[in-house]
A and B are shown apart, each in its own frame.
Chain A
Amino acid sequence: MRARVNDFAIKLANVNGTGSASANGLMMQAIFRMGIPVSGKNLFPSNIQGLPTWYEIRVNKDGYTARSLDYDLMVAMNSQTYARDIREVHEGGYLLYDSSWPLDPALVRDDVNFLGVPYAQLCNENFRDPRERILMKNIAYAGTLCAVLNADMDIVAGLLDEKYSTKKALRESNLRALRLGYDYARDHFQCPLPFHLETMNANSDKILIDGNTAIALGCVYAGATVAAWYPITPSTSAMDAFKMFCEKYRKDPETGKSNYMILQAEDELAAIGMVIGAAWNGARAFTSTAGPGISLMNELLGLAYYAEIPAVVIDVQRVGPSTGMPTRTQQGDILECAYASHGDTRHILLFPANPAECFELAPKAFDLAERFQTPVFILTDLDIGMNDWVVPRLQWNESYQPDRGRVLSAEDLEKIAKFQRYTNEDENQVAARTLPGVHPKGSFFTRGSGHNKYGGYTEMPDEYREVMDRLARKHKASAKFVPTPIIQRRAGANFGVITLGGCDLAVREALDRLAEQGVLADFMRVRGFPFDETVQSFLEMHYFCFVIEQNRDAQLRSLLTLETRVPKEKLRSILVYGGFPLSAKHVVDGILKALGEVEKPALASFVPMPELQIEE
């Protein structure tokens, strides 16, 4: 095999709850510190201990770090899934296993290189405590990986030093286990393997962060003071991070008091209610949740929409419907969030593609919510929220000032004769609001029941419609303020490819690969809803477009057909929704298959085709 430097993928199969996560994270972080573009995808079960869990590491010097489906090396540490794991290694690839016990001959493949290391035996000989014997097996295979992949041992040892700086004994055990696996590999295998690592310098301006941490940081920087939530995977770590950052950066330096309040609500109905109450009073307030929480919040989201109260809702999407698969990723809440609640409602949505955008869009969400006095959703997903991503260092613009929207001050109120809540709208159809307790003239009655433009109760058709029609215009007006799509054009492209959120890397990689084969496409990643004119014109300038998303029902495509002038036939879906992150392979295969079905001349006068679902 020809040497392949900094371009390979490995998969690690483990049993959850055995401590493998920290060994796998260690490898990923070490590669990051070697300056090499890398990604790590944790494919974990909804369980605390005993079920299969996988971790995938993709290394790519050119920065293609979406999920790979092509594994050069499998670290098979889970006997329950051996059969399946062995099948996934590509021809000529390698499999690392615990040779303390003989491998079932039925599982052996001739076209794969088996690397056996007796981890259990080595750990039993070297460690006394039974729990330690299990934990250290993980660090031992990390040691082997260092040897066969040519990882920088000083970096790995340095990471262990940092991690266990206050726990000397643990540090010693870890270093010993690392050495065991490393030395055994050096003594028994040809090291390194043909595919391996070599130090680069691609990460000096990068960080390794997950989207939930980044979004929490964004909320801190946005000036959010009230957060309400009910624990749910995969959003829980966002509030954990918000709490951690607040404890560090929001204790008043003079008084020691908490300049924030985090309310762990009794359910999501309460969480959104608390956000609405706080925002009604003028606080920047948010909740973080997942699909089941959004379902529960529907009633009050309509109240916030109709009574025009800001709210920021972070939806870290997971696989639905119902409980679905809580630890798997999907983009299945697009339509639910766009139109959440009964009656005519429509909301502003933001679609970050990675943790850096999570940080960037959090303050944007508060600005939009307050500017337009309405709920704003940030739709991330489990892949973005819970996996560590290599992203550019986060930047903060010191000149940022929160956009509090049209809020009348005591002085403003002093000057006017009478305050009327839902009239005198500006060019964006937003009427000024007042905050309780500011001035006697600012008092008004907020209600979710029928109201006229003065805020008074009404059951009259014309008065009701007047307010509802302005709300529709207001939503439209917000299109100019949501982030515009990212577009990449390619000379000679004859169709477009549209995607959103976490599909970004996989789709862009796929388009590069297709271009190598002479299949040329323009790229657009939408970043917000309502769609702006850029989205409209991208649709108009292409005969047809593929829409790539991670749900069964083509929700982005539906939204595009409902909310732009594009004819439905112009959009063709590629849908990957089994719960694991998207890979460029899904996209390349999908597009090639679809193009094969379309007769060349028909490309110009596009014929509608059935939905395409990709086998995963």
Chain B
Amino acid sequence: MPSIAKPIATHPSLQRNELGLTIRDYEGAMSTLCAGCGHDSITAALVRALWEISVQPHMIAKLSGIGCSSKTPTYFVNGAHGFNSAHGRMPPIATGANAANRELIYIGISGDGDSLSIGLGHMCHAIRRNVKLVYVIENNGVYGLTKGQFSASADIGTKSKKGEKNRMAPIDPVMLGLSLGATFIARSFSGDKDQLVPILKAAIAHRGFALLDVISPCVTFNDHDGSTKSYLYTRQHELKAIEADFVPPASEILAHIGKNGAVSVTMHDGSAILFKGVPANYDPTDREKVIAYLEEHQGKGEVVTGLLYVDESVPDMHEMNHSPDVPLIRVPYQKLCPGSAVLDKLQEDFR
């Protein structure tokens, strides 16, 4: 896409959210990704979700690693704080940031190379710490920015643009997350904004780490015949198993229950997720059932999407640490420094 400045004029008829802001207030700079890149659609979904839940732009911290996907934080919420860090290292940076200030909304953007190869260890440990962070893997099966090498999410048998076949087993972030005790796991498709927006909103409301694996085709290096991460392949194999809706805290939950209204999960902040369409015998709060379902369907080559698993009972990093309610950066220095009298006294132990 050409990098031209977006016009700033706002149409008066544009809808406003609770803060009186229009969707334009949640947009970012013009994307410089290839036209048709899946990542841009995820950006659009993020803009929509953040606008809909009415967060103050400057209370958002958007962090990323390196890759085409990791460039996208510049393309949403101009008024947010951004941090485009180093390849694979976003999880620790987000962890440290969150440790210092628990009040911000943390959006981490990563790629399949960023998360499943160079930064795999970091991602796993951020999951274990249950850092309150919306973690989006924009998964295209390749390293886009370095021109199309297979990534660790490439399926066995998938073909590169040059015709080479991948023979190694993929790392599936969803299965990995389930095995690590991740507390919020979803898979979606960049081409399905209707599914992605409510998932993103629920992820923001989640108590801890929210893992989102979003299939996001790379039109330049991985959208050909024989690729299992192309638009066509994903559309043909997607199994939208779980339909969920996000209900913000203040709303009347009953009004939202769908026809085959199944489970509803109350989030830590009082909001709720309503699971409207859930397969028989599926329970998004029962890890074993989720694993069994995924194994059955992924074994058949289906790409199961939806908000797959939620557990609101696990404390996040700060709760485990017994952190104060105020961010650590706001604890006054007088409280942090024990003072000279204490120093004198404690030195009696060093005699």
B121 proximity list for chain A (CB < 8 A):
266-267, 270
Query: Which residue of B94, B96, B347 contacts A226 across the interface (Cβ within 8 Å)?
Result: B96
B112-127 at interface with A (beta carbon < 8 Å): 121-122, 124-125
B14 interface hit (Cβ, 8 Å) = no
CA distance in complex: A277, B95 (Å):
7
Asked if A436 and B85 make an inter-chain contact with CB atoms under 8 angstroms apart, the answer reads no
Name B347's contact: one of A394, A402, A439 (CB within 8 Å). Answer: A394
Q: Report how far A265 CA is from B91 CA in the complex, Å.
A: 11
**How far apart are the CA atoms of A221 and B121 in the complex, in Å?**
33
Across-interface contacts of B96 in A (CB, < 8 A): 226, 228, 263, 273-281, 285
B85-116 contacts to A (CB < 8 Å): 85-86, 89, 91-101, 103-104
A458 at the interface (CB under 8 A from B): no
Q: Could you tell me the distance in whole angstroms from the C-beta of B19 to the nearest C-beta in chain A?
A: 11
A207-B92 in contact (CB<8A): no
In the complex, whether A473 has a CB less than 8 A from a CB of chain B is: no
Contact of B328 with A261 in the complex, beta carbons under 8 Å: yes
A249 and B95 form a contact (CB under 8 A): no
In Å, the complex CA distance between A273 and B97 comes to: 9
Is B280 part of the binding interface, using a Cβ–Cβ cutoff of 8 Å? no
Contact A226 B99 (CB under 8 A): yes
Name the one of A224, A277, A445 contacting B82, with C-beta atoms under 8 angstroms: A445
A273-B122, A278-B96 in contact; A443/B80 too (CB < 8 A)? Answer: yes
Out of B89, B93, B340, name the residue touching A395 (CB < 8 Å).
B340
Pick the contact of A261: B93, B321, B340 (CB < 8 A): B321
**B81 neighbours in A (Cβ, 8 Å):** 436-437, 442-446
Nearest CB in chain A: distance from B131 CB, A: 10
Q: Does B12 make an interface contact (CB < 8 A)? A: no
Is B324 interfacial (CB 8 A cutoff)? Answer: yes
Residues in chain A near residue B317, CB distance under 8 A? 261
Flag whether A408 is at the interface (Cβ < 8 A).
no
Q: How far, in angstroms, from A280 to B59 measured CA to CA in the complex?
A: 14
- Selected interface stretch from A252-260, A344-352, A590-598: A252-260
Asked if A277 and B336 sit within 8 Å, CB to CB, the answer is no
- A276 contacts across to B, CB distance below 8 A: 85, 93, 96
Complex contact B97–A277 (CB within 8 A):
yes
Q: How far is the CA of A263 from the CA of B130 in the complex (A)?
A: 13
Q: Which of B325, B328, B343: most chain A CB closer than 10 A?
A: B328
Interface string of A402-415 (1 = CB under 8 A from B): 10000000000000
Residues of B contacting A439 in the complex (Cβ-Cβ under 8 angstroms):
58
Residue in chain A with minimal CB distance to B333: A223
**Is A255 in contact with B100, judged by CB distance below 8 angstroms?**
no
Instruction: Give Cα distance in the complex from A279 to B321, angstroms.
Output: 19
B84 close to A446 (CB less than 8 A):
yes
Residue of B93, B97, B101, B321 near A258 (CB, 8 A) is B321
Query: In the complex the two chains form, is A280's CB within 8 Å of B93's CB?
Result: yes
Q: How far is the CA of A616 from the CA of B91 in the complex (A)?
A: 46
Q: A259-B335, A437-B58 are in contact. Are A281 and B122 (CB under 8 A)?
A: no
> In the bound complex, do residue A396 and residue B340 qualify as a contact, i.e. CB atoms below 8 Å apart?
yes
Number of B residues with CB within 8 Å of any CB on chain A: 61
Over the window 432-460 of chain A, the binary record of Cβ atoms lying under 8 Å from chain B Cβ atoms (1 yes, 0 no) is: 00011111101111111100000001000
CB distance from B25 to the nearest CB of A (A): 10
Interface centre among A250, A267, A281 (most CB of B within 10 A): A281
Q: Would you call B85 and A303 a contact (CB within 8 A)?
A: yes
Tell me how far the C-beta of A287 lies from the nearest C-beta in chain B, rounded to whole angstroms. 10
Question: Inside 8 A of A397's CB, which chain B residues have their CB?
Answer: 340
Interface assignment of A586: CB less than 8 Å from any CB of chain B: no
Q: Out of A208, A222, A267, which one reaches B351, CB within 8 Å?
A: A208
Q: Which of A213, A269, A279, A299 neighbours the largest number of chain B CB atoms within 10 Å of its CB?
A: A269
Q: A-B pairs with CB below 8 Å: how many?
A: 213
Q: Which residue of B lies closest to A401 (CB)?
A: B333
**Interchain CA distance A256-B323 in the complex, whole Å:** 9
Which residues on A sit within 8 Å (CB–CB) of B343? 217, 221, 394-396
Q: How far is the CA of A396 from the CA of B340 in the complex (A)?
A: 5
Please report the C-alpha to C-alpha distance between residue A277 and residue B85 in the assembled complex, in whole angstroms.
10
Q: Chain B residues near A393 (CB, 8 Å)? A: 344, 347
- How far does the Cβ of B154 sit from chain A's closest Cβ, in whole Å? 25
Interface presence of B74 (CB below 8 A): yes
B339 A396 Cβ-Cβ under 8 A: yes
B186 on interface, CB distance cutoff 8 Å = no
Find B103's partner among A207, A221, A437 (CB 8 Å cutoff). A437
The answer, among B101, B337, B342, for a CB contact under 8 Å with A436, is B101
**Is B56 part of the contact surface with A, judged by Cβ < 8 Å?**
yes
Specify which of A269, A282, A438, A449 is in contact with B100 (CB 8 Å cutoff): A282
Which of B73, B333, B336, B346 interacts with A250 by CB under 8 Å?
B336
Q: Are A280 and B97 in contact (CB under 8 A)?
A: yes
CB-based nearest A residue for B83? A446
Inter-chain CA distance A550–B56, complex, in Å, is 54
Q: Which residue of B lies closest to A440 (CB)?
A: B58
A 367-397 to B, binary, CB cutoff 8 A, 1 in contact else 0: 0000000000000000000000000011111
Q: Which of A255, A266, A448 contacts B85 (CB 8 A)?
A: A448
Nearest chain A CB to B32's CB is how many angstroms away? Answer: 9
> Could you tell me the distance in whole angstroms from the C-beta of A201 to the nearest C-beta in chain B?
14
- Chain B CB within 8 A of A209 CB: yes
Is B329 at the interface (CB under 8 A from chain A)?
A: yes
A543 to B263 CA separation, bound complex (whole angstroms)? 84
In this assembly, does A135 line the interface, its C-beta being within 8 Å of a C-beta of chain B?
no
Q: How far is the CA of A33 from the CA of B350 in the complex (A)?
A: 11
Contacts of A278 in B (CB 8 A): 96-97, 99-100
Residue from the list B89, B322, B342, B347 in contact with A257, Cβ < 8 A: B322
A217 to B83, CA, bound (A): 32
A448 and B344 CA atoms in complex are apart in Å by: 44
* Chain B nearest CB, measured from A153 CB (Å): 18
Residues of B within 8 A of A (CB): 56-59, 61, 63, 73-74, 78-86, 89, 91-101, 103-104, 121-122, 124-125, 129, 317-318, 321-325, 327-329, 331, 333, 335-340, 342-344, 346-347, 350-351
Q: A256-B322, A277-B100 are in contact. List 13 more A-B contacts (CB 8 A).
A: A207-B347, A207-B350, A207-B351, A222-B337, A223-B337, A226-B96, A261-B318, A263-B96, A266-B125, A273-B85, A273-B93, A281-B104, A283-B329
A-B contact pairs, 19 of them (CB 8 A): A213-B350, A217-B346, A252-B331, A255-B324, A258-B322, A259-B331, A261-B323, A270-B95, A273-B122, A274-B92, A276-B96, A277-B83, A278-B99, A300-B89, A400-B337, A436-B104, A437-B101, A445-B73, A445-B81
Q: Would you list the 8 A-B pairs with minimal beta carbon distance, nearest first?
A: A277-B96, A273-B92, A274-B96, A283-B100, A277-B97, A436-B81, A270-B92, A445-B82
